[in-house]
Amino acid sequence: MLKAIGSKLNLLRDQKAKDYYYLVSDLLDNELVLKMKEFTHHGDTTCFQHCLNVSYYNYRICRFFSWNTRAAARAGLLHDLFLYDWHTYKPDKDKGERLHGFTHAQTALKNVRENFYISELESDIIGKHMFPLNITAVPRHRETVVIVLVDKYCGLLETVIPRLKKAENAFLRIVRGRRSA
């Protein structure tokens, strides 16, 4: 079952999500996109799940404003197609490589361009999703501004929610332990 963080919808089966699924179904079956399941991204969330989260909420926000939902959904699903574990990645300073946060948007864009046809808008969304960390990658489109915000929001939820659940479980163990004593 495919669900976005905080959503109760099964993106494969729910009627409300059918338009979204139609836009990205070919990508969800793509071997390269599925490879993102092999890499942890934020907290316990895989890169694939993170991209699905971002894609779905990009789509929802752009649909609300009647903006380009196709580009928002597809670029959201592909925006982190860098295909390596950034937690263990060591940039080669002799080659001028920089830290993951500064480079992965361009790495993903290169991978996407080599494997998929994408529009100029989708290129802007993918290549500039790390603004303002990448201060020179200024968004040119409103859909790009949406992914900048949604990407940070999803990353925050993916990092914080598992920690909150662990803290809640620890708290409940303490409380239950005191009650039984």
CA dist., res. 12 & res. 145, Å (int): 27
Residue 157 lies in a domain: yes
pLDDT tens digits, residue range 35-80?
Answer: 999 988 767 889 999 999 999 999 999 999 999 999 999 999 999 9
Structural domain that includes position 173? 15-180
Cα dist from 137 to 23, 114, 115, 131, 133, whole Å: 26, 21, 22, 6, 9
| CATH for 51 | 1.10.3210.10
Q: How far apart are CA 45 and CA 63, in angstroms?
A: 26
pLDDT at residue 20 greater than cutoff 80? yes
Q: Which of 34, 33, 54 is nearest to 112 (CA)?
A: 33
Arithmetic mean of pLDDT over the chain: 84
Q: Is residue 42 included in any domain, yes or no?
A: yes
Q: Taking 70 as the threshold, does the pLDDT of residue 152 lie above it?
A: yes
pLDDT at 88: 66
Stated as kind and residue range, the H or E segment containing 45 is strand 45-46
The number of distinct structural domains making up the chain is 1
Classify residue 163 by burial, with Cβ atoms within 10 Å: 0-12, 13-18, 19+. Answer: exposed
> Is residue 3, in this structure, part of any structural domain at all?
no
Is 2 within the bounds of a domain?
Answer: no
Q: How confident is the model at residue 3 (pLDDT cuts 50, 70, 90)?
A: confident
Residue 19 lies in a domain: yes
- Identify whether 117 is part of a domain: yes
pLDDT higher than threshold 90 for residue 148: yes
